[in-house]
Chain A
Amino acid sequence: MKILVCIKQVPDMESKFRINGAGTWYDESDLAWRINEYDEYAVEQGVRLKEQVADAELVVLSIGPDRVKEVIKKALAMGGDRGVHVKDDAAFAKDSFEIASIVAEYAQKESFDVIFTGMQSQDRASAQVGVYLAEMLGLPSVSTIVDFSYADGTVTASRELEGGLKAVVKVATPALFTCQLGLNTPRYPTLPNIMKAKKKELLTVEVAELLKVDERVETSRVYFPERKGGGLVLEGDVGEMADRLIALLKEKTTVL
């Protein structure tokens, strides 16, 4: 079985963001970068599937500048077999359609039986790439899964809906799944596995070789939302703030 997991590197969402010079995205300097939370579940599910079926290969792919090799290496240390880095310094400017097309172009060359992606990225949050990719490859897809089990060429997956409801579906492989938070508990790479991962193949492909389409969505401007809330902000000494808050609760609510 051949398994593909697509991952993205994103900034820590608690970062102090700044807008880039062109006003079209955040400034990428001085940020702490991580694997997209949703993709971490995707990697874990890929590794579990690989461990379950004998004779499987797990490929991890990421698009972006050189720094994204870090997240590929993390995924390899979690149990991936080889990495593909699509080198693209301008990945941030590409829309979901372009990103999915790049992956589809690569994935066409190797026939993957199961593909996992995150349900969305934490920064763009479009929730499009996985489903787009499946459609481009002509594969069935199940989005937002919170449960996955595989037996004899069939996957049973739970798809999360709103309000605590799930839909259980069965689908034959090859198929694609987009992973939701809570699908599993991603493992921490152990030191020996981190060392082993350094020796695993990490192929770099220039994005120009894989990009055959034009963007369909254009970003004209990125900005900070206006603070409309106008709520009160308390800062300073913990004890004094607690007193202030209690006074406010007495004044503005009926709970105290």
Chain B
Amino acid sequence: MKTLLVGEYRKGQLRDSCYELIAFAEKLGADSTLFLVGSPTDLPRTDGTLYLADVAKYGEFNPEAHKQLLLDVVAREQPDAVVFSHSSYGWDLAPRLALALKAAQISEVVDVVDGSFVVPSCNSKLRREVKAKTAVSVITVQVGAFNPGEPSGTPTVVALDTDAVGSLEFVGYETAEKGGVDLTKAEIIVSAGRGIGKKDNVELIARLAEALGGEYAASRPVVDAEWVEHNRQVGSTGQSVSPKLYLACGISGAVQHLAGMKRSEYVVAINTDRDAPIGEVADVLVVADLLQFVPVLTEKIKAL
């Protein structure tokens, strides 16, 4: 089996996720070749062939040109699978490439079992085992699912070029305002999920955080509803935190949320749903209505 692994660049730098792709290819027992729209100044530390197109020329977000560059490499290398991270770059490009190659596309692979790919469904409450019915497949692998080894080596670079132009004009990057709190340094985080129900209840979470001497945070829906400001969002599109204690209140445990809190030392989840996927990562799952439990816990902690 032969895989073509597609690395990513972001703001002029290689993203570490390419090492997860290498780990995935190793799990498949595949020979792999790398593809990157990047720059020779920041290359993956690995041996083997790396097809490199110049990011200064093609840009980091220019899917049509990247697709054409990939198609050229696929024609040369004839891989059995083209592998992306399941990231904003990967899920945008993978279906484009799959359609052009008449290949099956499989998203968000978390495991490989007897040649079938395992993907989560229904907010990780279910697992699906799927197989490609085409000879070539295009795969995205869930970020964090395949643990990379210590990177080492020097790739043999093959330069790429294309005349393809994209129909999108890249205007620029926007960064969410940080400021205020630095959750990355907090030792105790109490986080509010959609289960808090309404904005007024954020107060309950903030009070518990205060009683514990920590910070409060939130999952995405709470931020999208503007109940809590964006700089307190934990997750793949928010902050990555690593506190000694993470208290997830009314949070289901979607992968994108877990991505931001999985380095927490001790995780307590408060949820009415005993089957909520957050139970998978929690050291303690308190099955309770947070509106009842959190105030009681807060009072008891204050009384200590």
Question: Most chain-B Cβ atoms within 10 A of its Cβ — which of A19, A131, A239, A248?
Answer: A131
Q: In whole Å, how far is A148's beta carbon from the nearest beta carbon of chain B?
A: 14
**Residues of chain A contacted by B296 (CB below 8 angstroms):** 238-239, 242
Query: Which label, helix, strand, loop or mixed, suits the secondary structure of the A interface?
Result: mixed
**Residues of chain A contacted by B238 (CB below 8 angstroms):** 163-164
Interface membership of A191, Cβ < 8 A? no
Q: With A170-B168, A246-B300 in contact, do A253 and B88 touch (Cβ < 8 Å)?
A: no
Q: Is there contact, CB below 8 Å, between A123 and B167?
A: no
Question: CA A49 – CA B166 in complex, angstroms?
Answer: 25
6 A-B residue pairs with Cβ-Cβ distance under 8 Å, sorted by A, are: A128-B91, A132-B95, A144-B92, A161-B88, A164-B239, A167-B173
Interface membership of B130, Cβ < 8 A? yes
Q: Is there contact, CB below 8 Å, between A182 and B223?
A: yes
Question: CA A90 – CA B255 in complex, angstroms?
Answer: 28
Interface membership of A199, Cβ < 8 A? no
Q: Is there contact, CB below 8 Å, between B237 and A164?
A: yes
Q: Contact residues of B with A, CB < 8 Å?
A: 10-11, 60-61, 64, 86-89, 91-92, 94-96, 98-100, 103-108, 116, 119-134, 166-176, 178, 187-188, 212, 214, 220-221, 223-225, 230, 233, 236-240, 244-245, 252, 265-268, 273-277, 279-288, 292-293, 296-297, 300-301, 304
Select which of A120, A125, A229 is within 8 A of B279 by beta carbon.
A229
Q: Is there contact, CB below 8 Å, between A135 and B126?
A: no
Question: CA A115 – CA B105 in complex, angstroms?
Answer: 22
Select which of A144, A224, A228, A245 is within 8 A of B88 by beta carbon.
A144
Q: In whole Å, how far is A14's beta carbon from the nearest beta carbon of chain B?
A: 6
- One digit per residue, 1 when the CB lies within 8 angstroms of any chain B CB and 0 when it does not, for chain A 99-138 equals 0000000000000000000001011111110011001100
Question: CA A136 – CA B99 in complex, angstroms?
Answer: 8
Q: Is there contact, CB below 8 Å, between A224 and B125?
A: yes
Q: Is there contact, CB below 8 Å, between A232 and B133?
A: no
* Chain A, residue nearest B95 (CB): A131
**Residues of chain B contacted by A235 (CB below 8 angstroms):** 274, 287
Q: With A167-B61, A245-B284, A255-B188 in contact, do A126 and B107 touch (Cβ < 8 Å)?
A: yes
Question: CA A231 – CA B276 in complex, angstroms?
Answer: 13
User: Which of the segments A52-60, A66-74, A77-85, A214-222 contacts the partner chain?
Assistant: A214-222
* Chain A, residue nearest B108 (CB): A125
Q: Is there contact, CB below 8 Å, between A229 and B95?
A: no
Q: Is there contact, CB below 8 Å, between B127 and A168?
A: no
Question: CA A166 – CA B170 in complex, angstroms?
Answer: 11
**Residues of chain A contacted by B293 (CB below 8 angstroms):** 238, 241-242
Q: With A231-B284, A232-B283 in contact, do A160 and B127 touch (Cβ < 8 Å)?
A: no
